[in-house]
């Protein structure tokens, strides 16, 4: 296969505090790696502890085993704290094993935090980081493994993986597989029911989702609204942000887009729970518009998409924390403190995946992948692999084996609900090769705008569909 070179519960638990510090909310890890959240309720910092995330969304998907995080692990300790040194090697070794297949992306997520990247994010800062990230991806030995990192960094990576990444991957897997089951049963007009075994993620599926998750959060470290200060503006609408996606293969970028669909849906679910109870007097209007409902409450739905974009821009720690809050009043209070609108400097990830942004990226930051597409090169499915350079079956079928460097809004939207690029070939076995092609033809025909954009850029239509 041709591959162009890249460019550019309620239960009583003993808990260990893992301060993945952001503002407003703390994440707590119990001895089994489940997460709880505590939200300040008074000025004296009395906390209301909320049950861990153990909903049906998180069942049935086994994850790799990382040993329990020691009770003293806390992200504020320094590497020269001798009381912490005895377990560092064990944790590092286990973390390297756990992150196998996406270690580079977990490392980039670590290094893109303000603590490491710098509190002022200039355009040059981001450009230099992305160049480094490109180097790490190009040479697997160009970034340090966990065993060579300071203990404080290892503890942060372990705490993030246990308290943020794992729960979200479990939740995503359940959500997307349920959507896939329903979508295939409807579209293929056959009864497709996932068995208990089918509800489990293979290692290759896990790795694809983890890659998307870590890259998604790295994007928001660079371009989102976090504790750092964004200095400067993108050179043009979506262009500098869009260059981030030059780092990855198009099917991996589509995985990031699928994950964005999930995160936005999760924020929508939370908005639905609190929409009638937000107190406008508690809202920080420096971050949110002055919009009221007729009854005097805060109208969260006047600009729902804008608020979703604002909350998405805060990164994955925020949504992971909100998803652990089951008490309604605690959830309302947390939303009143944390609600923000979109940032003023950079485009959202969703906007950076828009056709216009992709066109600008291709003009200003063309890559070998764009050239491979222009030459009409072919790609094929070589089996499910942990290697990022091997496309999944569904991606190959979507384009009829023709190499395409399109993703985001240039892919039929319903497929994102399925997380279609995350799955191994076995997920499509009941549909069959011809059935899969027919399925994608139907989706292309239903998305006239995407087909027109692609035809305008390339002179050909996906799967030769006529619209």
Residue 420's nearest CA partner among 288, 266, 254, 277 is 254
pLDDT at res. 294: 54
Residue 183's nearest CA partner among 258, 73, 92 is 258
Q: How far apart, in whole angstroms, are the C-alpha atoms of residue 58 and residue 79?
A: 34
DSSP string, 279-333: -GGGS-TTTS---B-TTSSB-TTTTHHHHHHHHHTT-HHHHHHHTT--SHHHHHH
**pLDDT tens for residues 188-200?**
555 555 555 577 8
The least confident of 184-188, 298-302, 433-437 is 298-302
The residue among 185 and 277 whose pLDDT is bigger is 277
For residues 121 and 230, the answer to whether their CB atoms sit within 8 Å is yes
Mean pLDDT of the 343-367 span: 87
Name the DSSP class of 388: T
The residue among 158 and 139 whose pLDDT is bigger is 158
pLDDT at residue 363 is higher than 50: yes
Mean pLDDT of the 9-28 span: 35
What band does 304 get if pLDDT is binned at 50, 70 and 90? confident
pLDDT at res. 26: 41
pLDDT at residue 297 is higher than 60: no
For residues 17 and 74, the answer to whether their CB atoms sit within 8 Å is yes
Mean pLDDT of the 68-75 span: 34
For residues 119 and 229, the answer to whether their CB atoms sit within 8 Å is yes
Q: Is the dihedral of CA 94, 96, 98, 100 positive or negative?
A: negative
Mean pLDDT of the 243-258 span: 96
What band does 266 get if pLDDT is binned at 50, 70 and 90? very high
Start-to-end CA span in the chain (Å): 30
Task: Sort strands 15-17 and 26-30 into parallel, antiparallel or unpaired.
Answer: antiparallel
Q: Which residues pair with 121 in a beta bridge?
A: 230
pLDDT at res. 87: 57
Environment class of residue 377 by beta-carbon count within 10 Å: exposed (0-12), middle (13-18) or buried (19+)? middle
Q: Does the predicted TM-score (pTM) go above 0.85?
A: no
For residues 439 and 393, the answer to whether their CB atoms sit within 8 Å is no
Mean pLDDT of the 390-408 span: 96
Q: How far apart, in whole angstroms, are the C-alpha atoms of residue 167 and residue 315?
A: 15
For residues 123 and 240, the answer to whether their CB atoms sit within 8 Å is yes
Q: Tokens 């861990």 identify what position?
A: 52
pLDDT at residue 381 is higher than 60: yes
Mean pLDDT of the 16-27 span: 39
Mean pLDDT of the 1-28 span: 38
What band does 132 get if pLDDT is binned at 50, 70 and 90? very high
Mean pLDDT of the 298-304 span: 66
Q: Which residues of 392-411 are buried (b: 16+ CB within 10 A; e: fewer)?
A: bbbbbbbbbebbbbbbbbbb
Q: How far apart, in whole angstroms, are the C-alpha atoms of residue 96 and residue 51?
A: 30
Q: What is the number of other CB atoms lying within 10 angstroms of the CB of residue 62?
A: 10
pLDDT at res. 184: 84
pLDDT at res. 404: 97
pLDDT at residue 334 is higher than 70: yes
Integer angstrom CA distances of residue 197 from 61, 426, 462? 9, 12, 34
The least confident of 93-102, 154-163, 195-204, 216-225 is 195-204
Mean pLDDT of the 348-371 span: 91
Share of the chain above pLDDT 70, in %: 71
Average pLDDT, the chain: 78
Q: How far apart, in whole angstroms, are the C-alpha atoms of residue 256 and residue 344?
A: 22
For residues 374 and 458, the answer to whether their CB atoms sit within 8 Å is yes
pLDDT at residue 393 is higher than 90: yes
Mean pLDDT of the 328-347 span: 88
Q: Give the CB-side neighbour count of residue 252, counting CA atoms within 13 A.
A: 26
Share of the chain above pLDDT 90, in %: 51
Q: Which helix (H) or strand (E) holds 38?
A: strand 35-40
Q: How far apart, in whole angstroms, are the C-alpha atoms of residue 388 and residue 362?
A: 22
Task: Sort strands 47-49 and 120-121 into parallel, antiparallel or unpaired.
Answer: unpaired
Q: How far apart, in whole angstroms, are the C-alpha atoms of residue 143 and residue 96?
A: 12
pLDDT at res. 42: 28
The least confident of 39-53, 84-98, 355-369, 445-459 is 39-53
pLDDT at residue 327 is higher than 90: yes
pLDDT at res. 243: 87
């Amino acid at each position: 296969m041709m591959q162009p070179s890249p460019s550019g519960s309620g239960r009583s638990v003993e808990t260990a505090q893992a301060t993945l510090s952001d503002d407003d909310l703390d994440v707590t890890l119990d001895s089994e790696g489940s997460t709880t959240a505590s939200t300040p309720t008074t000025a004296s910092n009395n906390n209301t502890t909320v049950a861990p995330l153990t909903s049906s969304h998180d069942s049935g998907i086994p994850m790799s085993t990382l040993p329990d995080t020691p009770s003293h692990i806390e992200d504020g300790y320094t590497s020269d704290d001798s009381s912490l040194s005895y377990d560092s090697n064990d944790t590092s070794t286990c973390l390297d094993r756990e992150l196998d297949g996406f270690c580079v992306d977990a490392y980039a997520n670590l290094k893109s935090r303000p603590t490491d990247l710098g509190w002022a994010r200039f355009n040059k800062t981001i450009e230099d980081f992305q160049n480094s990230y490109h180097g790490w991806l190009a040479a697997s030995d160009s970034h340090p493994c966990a065993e060579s990192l300071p203990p404080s960094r290892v503890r942060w990576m372990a705490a993030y993986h246990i308290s943020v990444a794992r729960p979200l991957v479990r939740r995503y897997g359940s959500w997307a597989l349920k959507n896939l089951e329903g979508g295939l049963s409807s579209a293929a007009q056959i009864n497709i029911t996932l068995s208990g075994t089918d509800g489990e993620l293979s290692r290759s599926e896990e790795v694809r989702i983890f890659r998307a998750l870590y890259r998604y959060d790295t994007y928001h470290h660079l371009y989102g609204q976090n504790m750092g200060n964004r200095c400067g503006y993108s050179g043009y609408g979506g262009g500098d942000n869009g260059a981030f996606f030059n780092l990855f293969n198009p099917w991996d970028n589509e995985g990031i887009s699928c994950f964005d669909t999930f995160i936005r849906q999760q924020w929508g679910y939370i908005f639905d729970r609190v929409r009638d109870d937000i107190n406008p007097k508690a809202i920080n209007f420096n971050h949110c518009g002055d919009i009221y409902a007729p009854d005097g409450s805060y109208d969260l739905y006047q600009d729902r998409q804008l608020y979703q974009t604002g909350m998405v821009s805060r990164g994955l720690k925020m949504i992971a924390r909100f998803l652990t809050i089951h008490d309604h009043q605690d959830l309302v209070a947390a939303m009143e403190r944390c609600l923000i609108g979109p940032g003023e400097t950079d485009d959202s990830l969703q906007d950076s995946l828009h056709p216009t942004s992709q066109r600008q990226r291709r003009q200003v930051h063309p890559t070998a992948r764009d050239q491979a597409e222009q030459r009409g090169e072919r790609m094929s499915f070589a089996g499910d692999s942990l290697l990022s350079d091997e496309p999944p079956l569904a991606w190959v079928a979507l384009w009829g084996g023709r190499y395409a460097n399109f993703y985001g809004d240039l892919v039929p939207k319903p497929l994102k609900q399925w997380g279609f690029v995350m799955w191994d070939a076995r997920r499509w076995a009941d549909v069959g090769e011809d059935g899969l092609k027919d399925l994608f033809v139907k989706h292309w025909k239903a998305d006239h705008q995407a087909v027109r954009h692609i035809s305008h850029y390339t002179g050909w239509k996906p799967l030769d569909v006529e619209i």
